[in-house]
Structure 1
Amino acid sequence: MRPVGEMDLFLTPAGRIMYPGDNLTDVQALREQIPALDGCVYLNCGTFGPVPSQSTDEVVRLLRLIESDGPFNPDVNETVHKVYETARESMSRFVGASSDEIALTRNVSDGINIVATGFDWEPGDEVIITDQEHPSGALPWINLSRRYGIKVRMLPLTHNQDETVASLEDLINPKTKLVFLSHVSTRTGYRLPAKRLCDVSHANGVPIMLDGAHAVGQMAVDVKDLGCDFYAGCGHKWILAPQGSGFLYIDREWIDKLKLTWLGWGMTEEYDLPSLSFESVSEARRFEYATMNWAHFGGLVKSIGVAEELGIENTEARISELATNLKQRLSDIPGIEIESPMEPEISTGLVALSTAGLNHEAPGKWLWDEHRILVAHNAENQWMRLAVAHFLLEEELDRFVECMTELSEDR
């Protein structure tokens, strides 16, 4: 498999991607499977990705089967169990793990909390996070600081991977119990040098967890190659899967060492109430408990299938091409300041920009109300984030640039 950077990318006006010697991948065919794209320019995969019809149809089929025939009907139960385990196998394959190292969760937040509460924390212990974490990537550690007196240390992110590595080397110390970093910054789309950071952490005898919310689905992820101990991801962003479908990778070495916090039926191998004893399974699924929304994992299987059919290298290359071109064009518009890195090798499809210079109090709302362009925008902070996904067409990005140019001219 060749690195993305060695591929020669050709984009046709029809929105097709072709690599020399490879089959033609028709983006238009993908778009026809995603109803949400009919009515808008969808630039917000970073919050929720639009779901292909085949994934939605599978969720509806399974939900109807479960609720109409009864979830404990033996035939239904067998079907649902197979779908659920297929989701585990599909996700493990997608991120380069073994299926026994994957716990199925609702989202990244589940995974972070499972790991955060799985350590025996003591006053003075330290955890390192970045200064650009999503609230769900910061609050669990802040909570631990209140409950147990641990210290949360913040690694400042710049758009320089060498500086990022050096910052971790400076922060890590004998009191560091865990390093928690985003694989891709939710704020700017900066691609952290995850493998190098894992090496630094392990060289100091410290386990490391990565938040893969904005990595899985838009770029190749191999948890074994990265060398992380824990990796949390979700289906509802770049994989284009239903909400409520996520995963937590736990390296096999940590499965029995990580403490259990939430327990319930389904995670035990042996259980005896009179003797108040139990033995949990020695797989990552020991961190799954109680009833899940089984049908949504059927949708996850379908969405992963679509992603694999497209080829993650194709997806990553197209996103890089579209995002790089868009940033270059936006940087020429007066009043817009790009906050994301410009270099493709440290960038992703997340493009952040300041709208402070546009003299418009709610450009995100205006884009939706007037042009049906969906973005993430914080009017108070005058910050906008675009998620440049592989299903977008060049003419859609042209429309966005024209709209931002119009706002700039109204200053």
Structure 2
Amino acid sequence: MQDIRVQKTFEALFALEDIREIFRGTLPTGLNETEEQEFQKKISALKKVINELESGTGKPEVFRLAGNLPVRDREESFINIQPIQAAGKLTVDARKALIAYGDGYSTCDSCKKPFRLDKITKPGIADFHSELADFLNMDEARVVPGARRGFQAVASSLLEKGDIALVSSLSHYTEFLSVENAGGIVKEVPLNENNIITAEATAEKIEAIIRETGKTPKIMMMDHFDYQLANEHEIKEISKVSHQYDIPLLYNGAYTVGVMPVDGKDLGADFVIGSGHKSMASAAPSGVLATTEEWAPVVFRTTQMKGDLTERKFGIKEVEMLGCTLMGGTLFSMMASFPAVKERVKHWDEEVDKSNYLMDRLLSISGSKVLSEYPRKHALSKIDTTDSFDTVAKSHPKRGYYLSDELSKRGIVGLFPGATRAWKLSTYGLSRDRVKYLGDSLVEIAEKYGLEVR
């Protein structure tokens, strides 16, 4: 369904990069005769693409980059409902920042003593760290290469071999790995009949652990909204239970930080972790780890190591951060998107409303169910179409692949090919027109194959 103008937009961007490359190789005094000729040649090529873009004519000229990378137009040519991609789509300013700051160590143009990322003032990386902490109502923050590296930093700081970490029964696998990497042991809090982690169940699990092991967990890692069902768990009440047992709480905000308001101190969090590439409109890998004055000296401890021969010391380099963390385009995409991120969290109710609209449309198809808690409190949902779309798959020549094919024909992507039973989708960031189109498309497909629509 690609509009040729999408293709020509990419080709124009690529043509501008070709022109830019000329300036990257010339002397500061300007272009020489050969370079000027090449410049004029590239300008002519760009004008041709611009003319085709304006008129909506021409044919695709660039199919792959560097020989094997297809041009990715998923966000320009389709409605993308893939849950892990929805809130990570870059803002226009972030895309511009990647163009300007995509070079490796672009953060380091003006790096001066004390030679640490969060201390750089030009551009305002130091200020950005302070703004992140304020945004989450925490005392200190660091950018990290994804939420998983935040989990790892906290786990390695607080856990020793054999220590227990308490997690949700719906926790992400990276929480398990971070505990295992630190030599710890995972214990899970069970779900109730509604697939919710409650404060009561958390307290009961802690008591059971103490009875069985004689030890209290050293850390609690708890999702606000989990990644499997996007159900809301009793995070504020759980934090109170956690602190009654003197267990620090790690708030997993991979699906909240950057899309909805998060007040770490109000929630009772000792650590708040967010994902830049999942929920903050940033390039991957990126994320944030924020903490309180009490725990900052622990998780952001500085190196004490000294070389035995050279007696070298590395001063204020932070051990768990391995010194600096995001050194280029990832960080600047995060910074460039931040004003928009701060604004969009104020409109979370609108995102939830769109999610519920789509779920209502889906439920109008007989046999369809919402596996997540309903009404929805999040833009991500898990649904069950075993008794609706999957009944068609049983006799369709393409089996379960027919549904993703039907959606793709309508310009909708993000459903795993072959999925017709339990599957996830997200409406985050979609306009109301797009959400309505999505709902209409699901109903249209159902009617096409004779499913009852109420």
- What secondary structure does 2:222 align onto? strand
Give TM-score, length-normalised by structure 2.
0.69
* Alignment counterpart, residue 191 of structure 1, candidates 232, 235, 244: 232
- What secondary structure does 1:241 align onto? coil
1:203-227 deviations in Å (ceiling 9; x for gaps): 1111111211100122100111111
Q: Distance in 2 between matches of 1:405 and 1:373?
A: 14
Q: Between the two proteins, what is the percent identity of the paired residues? A: 17
* Alignment counterpart, residue 257 of structure 2, candidates 201, 213, 216: 216
Task: Identify the range of structure 1 (152-161 vs 44-53) with the bigger mean alpha-carbon deviation.
Answer: 152-161
Deviation at 1:38, TM superposition (A): 3.5
After superposition, where does 1:173-192 map in structure 2 within 5 Å? 173=207, 174=210, 175=215, 176-192=217-233
Q: 2:378 maps to which residue?
A: 348
* Alignment counterpart, residue 114 of structure 1, candidates 134, 153, 157: 153
* Alignment counterpart, residue 329 of structure 2, candidates 288, 292, 295: 295
1:372-406 deviations in Å (ceiling 9; x for gaps): 213353746933212221x3222322222233234
Whether contact under 8 Å (1:103, 1:285) holds in the other structure is: no
Task: Decide whether aligned partners of structure 1 residues 133 and 142 sit closer, same or farther in structure 2, where only a CA change above 3 A counts.
Answer: same
Q: Distance in 2 between matches of 1:259 and 1:89?
A: 15
- Amino acid aligned to 2:341: A
Whether contact under 8 Å (1:272, 1:278) holds in the other structure is: yes
Q: Distance in 1 between matches of 2:202 and 2:120?
A: 47
Q: 1:228 maps to which residue?
A: 269
Q: 1:324 maps to which residue?
A: 356
Task: Identify the range of structure 1 (206-215 vs 238-247) with the bigger mean alpha-carbon deviation.
Answer: 238-247
Task: Decide whether aligned partners of structure 1 residues 61 and 367 sit closer, same or farther in structure 2, where only a CA change above 3 A counts.
Answer: farther
Task: Identify the range of structure 1 (237-246 vs 193-202) with the bigger mean alpha-carbon deviation.
Answer: 237-246
Q: 2:190 maps to which residue?
A: 155
- Amino acid aligned to 1:57: K
Is it true that 1:61 corresponds to 2:100 in the alignment? yes
Q: Distance in 2 between matches of 1:119 and 1:197?
A: 19
Deviation at 1:316, TM superposition (A): 0.5
Q: Distance in 1 between matches of 2:255 and 2:74?
A: 20
**If each structure's strand is expressed as a fraction of its own residues, which one has the higher value?**
1
Q: Distance in 1 between matches of 2:329 and 2:281?
A: 15
Q: Distance in 2 between matches of 1:379 and 1:135?
A: 24
Deviation at 1:37, TM superposition (A): 4.4
- Amino acid aligned to 2:167: I
Is it true that 1:240 corresponds to 2:281 in the alignment? yes
Whether contact under 8 Å (2:239, 2:267) holds in the other structure is: yes
Is it true that 1:91 corresponds to 2:124 in the alignment? no
Task: Decide whether aligned partners of structure 1 residues 341 and 86 sit closer, same or farther in structure 2, where only a CA change above 3 A counts.
Answer: same
Task: Decide whether aligned partners of structure 1 residues 79 and 177 sit closer, same or farther in structure 2, where only a CA change above 3 A counts.
Answer: closer
- What secondary structure does 2:228 align onto? coil
- What secondary structure does 1:59 align onto? helix
Deviation at 1:371, TM superposition (A): 2.0
Task: Decide whether aligned partners of structure 1 residues 395 and 285 sit closer, same or farther in structure 2, where only a CA change above 3 A counts.
Answer: farther
- What secondary structure does 1:205 align onto? coil
After superposition, where does 1:65-144 map in structure 2 within 5 Å? 71=108, 82-98=123-139, 101-123=140-162, 125-142=163-180
Whether contact under 8 Å (2:257, 2:279) holds in the other structure is: yes
Whether contact under 8 Å (1:40, 1:373) holds in the other structure is: yes
Deviation at 1:253, TM superposition (A): 0.9
* Alignment counterpart, residue 312 of structure 1, candidates 341, 345, 352: 345
- Amino acid aligned to 2:434: E
Whether contact under 8 Å (2:108, 2:327) holds in the other structure is: no
* Alignment counterpart, residue 200 of structure 2, candidates 159, 166, 180: 166
Task: Identify the range of structure 1 (133-142 vs 174-183) with the bigger mean alpha-carbon deviation.
Answer: 133-142
1:157-201 deviations in Å (ceiling 9; x for gaps): 55476x611111111134222211112111111122211111110
Is it true that 1:405 corresponds to 2:422 in the alignment? no
- Higher RCO (CA-CA < 8 Å; seq separation 6+): 1
> How many residues are matched?
355
Higher Rg of the two aligned structures: 2
- Amino acid aligned to 1:400: L
Q: 1:13 maps to which residue?
A: none
- Amino acid aligned to 1:153: E
Q: Distance in 1 between matches of 2:311 and 2:419?
A: 53
- Amino acid aligned to 2:240: D
Q: 2:405 maps to which residue?
A: 366
Task: Decide whether aligned partners of structure 1 residues 246 and 291 sit closer, same or farther in structure 2, where only a CA change above 3 A counts.
Answer: closer
- Amino acid aligned to 1:339: L
- Amino acid aligned to 2:340: V
Task: Decide whether aligned partners of structure 1 residues 330 and 291 sit closer, same or farther in structure 2, where only a CA change above 3 A counts.
Answer: closer
Deviation at 1:245, TM superposition (A): 2.1
Is it true that 1:252 corresponds to 2:252 in the alignment? no
Whether contact under 8 Å (1:268, 1:279) holds in the other structure is: yes
